[in-house]
């Protein structure tokens, strides 16, 4: 680990020289890139410097243990014990910081929520989940942009696709992919029986042009009349757009806007994110067959969470977390769940990194 940290320090010092170079300052793209990398390495250096100082002090205290004076030796023992605790704490923090960061963490995110089993009740819960995520995002001053929406006509949603604009949005939402199960008494239930319904959530990082080039000639564009609730011009003109990426068969549809051009642009954002997501998943599966154990599967067929309304309970099945705070959670107060998931998967990644390091040595 120390060798790796020395490499980080060398890169950090090189970046400081580059950022003071007038030629680099004039090149805005390069400057922004180096500033971002410098900021990330600064976090590591802020822990590495105290760690190195602790090692030096520990070495000096170990020397004092050889002193013939009993009082000095006793003081040295206490100092060594305290420094060892500090050293272990700093080592743990450094190991976490050295875990490769998900390159998508700072990106905007596209969240797709669809009704599964449960009929109208599933559609109602799609609406509830969308409201939950929207309020969570609003509490963080992130912007929600609806890309596509299919209403059921009874207050529910068959599907909603939305973009969350905000730095770090993907890092917060990425563990939400999967099947969300709801247990409650539907409004239409006359005998008070609890029904179980399911909703699927997919989370996709926004793909930028520089990351994914799509040849316009490989996209089939279909326009059609929007369906479902909407204004007069939405439902009477061919404003809805469906894009099909011919090489992969990936499809994206948008009919939320009155403008065909706006719908096409939004559909393109969704299409790009879906293709990018498929590419990333394929690469990750090639790199590791143990992906589930390292960073969580993100499998959209996996049941990840249950919302039990009669008991006011929410359970995340991946980490065995149960909270009796259903009302607050449905109002967007999901920070505790996201924090616990982040800690869990960081620990998994750390364990994997330590295991890999042991095998190499």
- pLDDT value of residue 211: 59
- pLDDT value of residue 193: 87
Average pLDDT for 213-228:
81
pLDDT band at 179 (very low <50, low <70, confident <90, very high): very high
232-282 confidence digits (pLDDT tens)? 444 456 788 889 999 888 898 888 777 888 888 888 888 888 888 888 777
Q: What percent of the chain is modeled with pLDDT above 90?
A: 43
- Residue pair 244/251 in contact (Cβ under 8 Å)? The answer is yes
pLDDT band at 188 (very low <50, low <70, confident <90, very high): low
- pLDDT value of residue 336: 94
Side-chain-facing half-sphere of 237: CA atoms under 13 Å: 12
Statement: residue 209 has pLDDT above 60? no
Average pLDDT for 177-204:
88
- pLDDT value of residue 300: 47
**Which residue carries 């616990």 as its tokens?**
340
- pLDDT value of residue 291: 35
Statement: residue 205 has pLDDT above 80? yes
3 state SS for the chain: CHHHHHHHHHHHHHHHHHHCCHHHHHCHHHHHHHHHHHHHHHHHHHHHHHHHHHHHHHHHHHHHCCCCCHHHHHHHHHHHHHHHHHHHHHHHHHHHHHCCCCCCCCCCEEEEEEECCCCHHHHHHHHHHHHHHHHHHHHCCCEEEEEEEEECCCCCEEEEEEEEECCCHHHHHHHHCEEEEEEECCCCCCCCCCEEEEEEEEEEECCCCCCCCCCHHHEEEEEECCCCCCCHHHHHCCCEEEEEECCCCEEEEECCCCCHHHHHHHHHHHHHHHHHHHHHHHHHHHHCCCHHHHHCCCCCCCEEEEEECCCCEEEECCCCEEECCHHHHHCCCCHHHHHHHHHHHHHHHHHHHHHHHHHHC
Q: What separation, in Å, do the N-terminal and C-terminal C-alpha atoms of the chain show? A: 12
Average pLDDT for 56-63:
92
- pLDDT value of residue 357: 53
Pick from 31, 43, 32, 132: nearest CA to 334: 132
- Give me the chain's average pLDDT, please: 84
Statement: residue 112 has pLDDT above 50? yes
State the Cα angle at 33 between 30 and 36, rounded to 5°.
150
Of 25-34, 268-277, 347-356, give the lowest mean pLDDT range. 347-356
Statement: residue 361 has pLDDT above 50? no
- pLDDT value of residue 234: 44
Statement: residue 210 has pLDDT above 60? no
289-339 confidence digits (pLDDT tens)? 433 433 333 444 578 999 999 999 999 999 999 999 999 999 999 999 999
- pLDDT value of residue 288: 47
85: burial class by Cβ within 10 Å (0-12, 13-18, 19+)?
A: exposed
CA–CA separation, 337 and 166 (whole Å): 19
Domains of the chain, each with CATH number or no CATH: 2-98 (1.20.58), 106-206+300-361 (3.30.70.1660), 211-288 (3.30.160.20)
- pLDDT value of residue 214: 82
- pLDDT value of residue 353: 62
Average pLDDT for 329-358:
81
**Which residue carries 């042009």 as its tokens?**
209
- pLDDT value of residue 158: 92
- pLDDT value of residue 232: 41
């Amino acid at each position: 680990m120390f060798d790796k940290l020395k490499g980080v320090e060398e890169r950090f010092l090189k970046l400081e020289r580059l950022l003071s170079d007038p030629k680099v300052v004039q090149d805005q793209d390069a400057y922004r890139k180096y500033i971002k990398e410098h900021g990330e390495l600064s976090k590591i250096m802020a822990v590495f410097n105290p760690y190195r100082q602790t090692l030096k002090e520990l070495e000096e205290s170990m020397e004092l243990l050889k002193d013939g004076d009993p009082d000095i030796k006793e003081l040295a023992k206490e100092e060594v014990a305290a420094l060892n605790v500090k050293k272990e704490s700093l080592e743990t923090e450094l190991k976490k910081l050295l875990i490769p960061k998900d390159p998508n963490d700072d990106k905007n995110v596209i969240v797709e929520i669809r009704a599964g089993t449960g009929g109208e009740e599933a559609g109602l819960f799609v609406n509830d989940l969308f409201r939950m995520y929207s309020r969570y995002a609003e509490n963080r001053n992130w912007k929600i942009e609806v890309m596509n929406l299919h209403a059921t006509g009874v207050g529910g949603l068959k599907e909603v696709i939305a973009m969350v604009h905000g730095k770090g949005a993907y890092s917060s939402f990425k563990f939400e992919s999967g099947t969300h199960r709801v247990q409650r008494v539907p409004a239409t239930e006359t005998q008070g029986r609890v029904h179980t319904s399911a909703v699927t959530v997919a989370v996709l990082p926004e793909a930028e042009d520089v990351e994914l080039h799509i040849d316009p000639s490989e996209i089939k564009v279909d326009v059609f009349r929007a369906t479902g609730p909407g204004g007069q011009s939405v439902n009477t003109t061919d404003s809805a757009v469906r894009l099909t990426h011919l090489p992969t068969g990936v499809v994206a549809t948008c009919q939320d806007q009155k403008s065909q051009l706006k719908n096409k642009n939004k559909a393109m954002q969704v299409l790009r994110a879906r293709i990018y997501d498929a590419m990333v998943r394929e690469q990750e599966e090639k790199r590791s067959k143990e992906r589930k154990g390292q960073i969580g599967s993100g499998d959209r067929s996996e049941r990840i969470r249950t919302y039990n309304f009669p008991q006011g309970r929410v359970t995340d099945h991946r980490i065995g977390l149960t909270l009796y705070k259903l009302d607050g959670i449905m109002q967007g107060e999901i920070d505790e769940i996201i924090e616990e998931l982040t800690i869990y998967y960081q620990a998994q990644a750390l364990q994997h990194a330590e295991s890999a390091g042991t095998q190499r040595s």
